[in-house]
């Protein structure tokens, strides 16, 4: 794994530990394993981060941090992956999860026109919350599981490839 490159991209642990929205976690943020890059912590981080990226809720990063601390995932990756759902990707992601929910609940998709008002948002959310939440939960579990398994397989592939390269180098140097 390109650990050195990833570590340069990550914020300093003290920066995250002192962030005002994470102060409720207290000294739990000082656990060194939350900052390590290993197969378990990174795969768990993908599980947590991708799960909360698909959940239509406020404060996704705070929820990802809290669960990440509980399951001992790499905290910067858990929090960073939540940004899969950002202002640009939220509409297609949540429309997709809404369509998944409507097909599972066997309810018709509601046509709507967008208005930028709180009244419109509350009215529409009241009408679509069940399929949106169900679809989001299903997609969150599926994509988070794919991320978890994918990272574990990728990590294993990388380690095996590194072992083979070292073994080939040893054999080449022994033959010379």
Tens of pLDDT, residues 112-159: 666 667 787 778 777 788 999 999 999 999 999 999 999 999 989 988
Q: E strands within the chain? A: none
Question: Do the Cβ atoms of 47 and 82 come closer than 8 Å?
Answer: no
Assign 10 a pLDDT band (cuts: 50, 70, 90).
low
Average confidence (pLDDT) over 52-71: 92
**Of 34-38, 59-63, 82-86, 143-147, minimum mean pLDDT range:** 34-38
pTM of the model: 0.80
- The position carrying tokens 């909360």 is 52
Tokens standing for 15? Answer: 């920066």
Tell me how far apart the alpha carbons of residues 46 and 66 are, in angstroms, rounded to a whole number. Answer: 14
Segments making up each domain of the chain, as ranges: 3-99+117-175
- The position carrying tokens 């570590």 is 7
Tell me how far apart the alpha carbons of residues 111 and 43 are, in angstroms, rounded to a whole number. Answer: 39
The alpha carbon of 66 is separated from its chain's Cα centroid by a whole number of angstroms, namely: 13
């Amino acid at each position: 794994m390109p650990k050195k490159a990833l570590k340069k991209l990550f914020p300093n642990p003290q920066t995250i530990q002192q962030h005002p929205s994470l102060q409720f976690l207290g000294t739990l943020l000082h656990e060194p394993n939350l900052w390590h890059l290993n197969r378990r912590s990174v795969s768990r981080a993908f599980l947590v981060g991708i799960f909360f990226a698909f959940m239509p809720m406020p404060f996704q990063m705070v929820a990802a941090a809290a669960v990440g601390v509980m399951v001992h995932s790499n905290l910067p990756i858990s929090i960073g992956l939540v940004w899969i759902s950002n202002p640009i990707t939220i509409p297609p992601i949540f429309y997709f999860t809404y369509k998944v929910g409507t097909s599972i609940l066997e309810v018709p998709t509601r046509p709507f026109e967008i208005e930028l008002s709180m009244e419109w948002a509350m009215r529409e959310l009241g009408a679509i919350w069940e399929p949106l939440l169900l679809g989001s939960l299903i997609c969150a579990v599926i994509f988070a599981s794919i991320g978890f398994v994918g990272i574990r397989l990728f990590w294993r592939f990388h380690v095996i490839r590194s072992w083979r390269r070292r073994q080939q180098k040893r054999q080449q140097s022994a033959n010379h």
